[in-house]
């Protein structure tokens, strides 16, 4: 059955007939396409904005007419892939660290992967462009935030060892001077950072400090252009697998409080894995709304350690226990933090 969640009002009146709604959408889509062609000649930047506006209509048609093919998955040659729609995170990270992207994030947009392979090695080039605004409401949206990123990597494999490294660059578009509620609908400043203004650790500013607290609007102070370099190496010794990894990130758009890293190691024996890592996220090192929401209490402006135990009784079942010991508010109001997090996941 078709999904009607994209039905909207037209000139203040809601059409109960889905046929009318599709027809009106088709007319509006046609005019936007014509305008897009004109803008490509007159102003390419404005044309890109018009193209972003098409996403609601494209999503509607896929959702209504092609419920099975909501995500384009196209493979070419032996090592190229293109995905469009709702896709998994296309960017590789050592030991699946979540410094830049939380594992729970849903990516919607376009992803490209080029992965030539040889006998004992392979390279990879990942490219992605996504809409990340959570507060999208058709023509009333205040900002079209987006993400553009690319990644280069190389991997080597031996009989009992492997090594992978990567370099990445992620541009978080149209964030500076935009409302924090465009990243999260219910976003509020961090009360524990007073007298500094922070949102999940990121630096923000208020439009009018004289207004009552419940009427103030807060905006992001900085842009986010995140460089990343990371590597992991695995070595098997009998039934034991040892892994070491690191990931360094830097916000290349600012000069201070712009560094993040995660460095750690793990030992795996059969269904049991134990790991430990050191984690630092300076105030504006990464975009706090999309970094891991659990590590060191979530967000940025923190530094500490994570100790984990994983139990995997079956290939599709994992039980994980994480212990965090950290300092939060390193650049604002320092305080101790400790917490325990348990995960149980089953995949089908």
* DSSP codes, 198-230: EETTEEEEES-TTS-GGG--EEE-S-EEEEEEE
Residue 93: its pLDDT value, please? 97
| pLDDT tens digits for range 65-115 | 444 345 677 888 888 999 887 788 889 999 999 999 988 777 778 899 999
Percentage of the chain exceeding pLDDT 90? 55
Residue 235: its pLDDT value, please? 97
Structure tokens at 309: 């135990």
Residue 74: its pLDDT value, please? 83
Q: Tokens 């959408």, residue?
A: 25
Residue 17: its pLDDT value, please? 41
> Residue 18 is inside which H or E element, if any?
helix 18-42
> Residue 272 is inside which H or E element, if any?
strand 272-281
Where the chain has pLDDT below 70, the residues are 1-71, 132-145, 348
Compute how many other C-beta atoms are within 10 angstroms of the C-beta atom of residue 161: 14
Query: From CA 173, how far away is CA 290, in angstroms rounded?
Result: 13
* pTM of structure: 0.77
Query: From CA 308, how far away is CA 38, in angstroms rounded?
Result: 56
Q: Tokens 């590789």, residue?
A: 92
Residue 285 burial (10 A CB sphere; 0-12, 13-18, 19+) = buried
Residue 183: its pLDDT value, please? 81
Give CA angle at 302 (298, 306), nearest 5°. 70
For residue 276, which of 301, 306, 298, 300 has the smallest C-alpha distance? 306
206 HSE (CA, 13 A, CB side):
17
- For the chain, the first-to-last Cα distance in angstroms comes to 24
């Amino acid at each position: 059955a078709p999904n009607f969640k994209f039905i909207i009002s037209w000139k203040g009146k809601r059409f109960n007939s889905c046929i009318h709604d599709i027809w009106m959408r088709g007319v509006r889509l046609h005019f936007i396409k014509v305008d897009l062609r004109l803008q490509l000649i007159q102003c390419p930047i404005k044309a890109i904005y018009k193209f972003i506006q098409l996403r609601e209509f494209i999503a509607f048609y896929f959702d209504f007419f092609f419920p099975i093919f909501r995500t384009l998955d196209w493979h070419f040659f032996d090592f190229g892939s293109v995905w469009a729609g709702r896709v998994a995170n296309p960017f590789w990270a050592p030991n699946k660290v979540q410094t830049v992207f939380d594992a729970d994030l849903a990516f919607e947009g376009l992803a490209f992967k080029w992965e030539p392979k040889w006998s004992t090695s392979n390279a990879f080039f990942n490219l992605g462009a996504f809409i990340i605004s959570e507060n999208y409401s058709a023509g009333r949206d205040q900002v079209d935030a987006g993400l553009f990123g690319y990644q280069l990597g190389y991997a080597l494999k031996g009989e009992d060892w492997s090594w992978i490294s990567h370099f990445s660059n992620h541009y978080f578009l149209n964030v500076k001077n935009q409302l924090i509620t465009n990243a999260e609908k219910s976003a509020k400043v961090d009360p524990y950072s007073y007298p500094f203004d922070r949102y999940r650790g990121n630096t923000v500013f208020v439009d009018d400090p004289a207004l009552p607290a419940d009427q103030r609007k807060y905006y992001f102070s900085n842009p986010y252009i995140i460089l990343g370099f990371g590597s992991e190496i695995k070595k098997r010794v009998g039934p034991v697998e040892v892994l070491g990894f690191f990931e360094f990130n830097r916000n290349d758009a600012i000069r201070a409080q712009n560094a993040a890293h995660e460095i750690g190691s793990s030992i795996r024996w059969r269904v049991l894995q134990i790991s430990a890592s050191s984690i630092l996220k300076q105030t504006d090192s990464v975009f706090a709304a999309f970094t891991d929401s659990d590590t060191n209490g979530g967000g940025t402006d923190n530094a500490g350690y994570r100790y984990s135990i994983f139990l995997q009784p079956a290939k599709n079942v994992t039980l994980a226990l994480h212990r965090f010991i950290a300092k939060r508010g390193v650049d604002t109001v320092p305080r101790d933090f400790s917490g325990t997090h348990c995960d149980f996941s089953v995949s089908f």
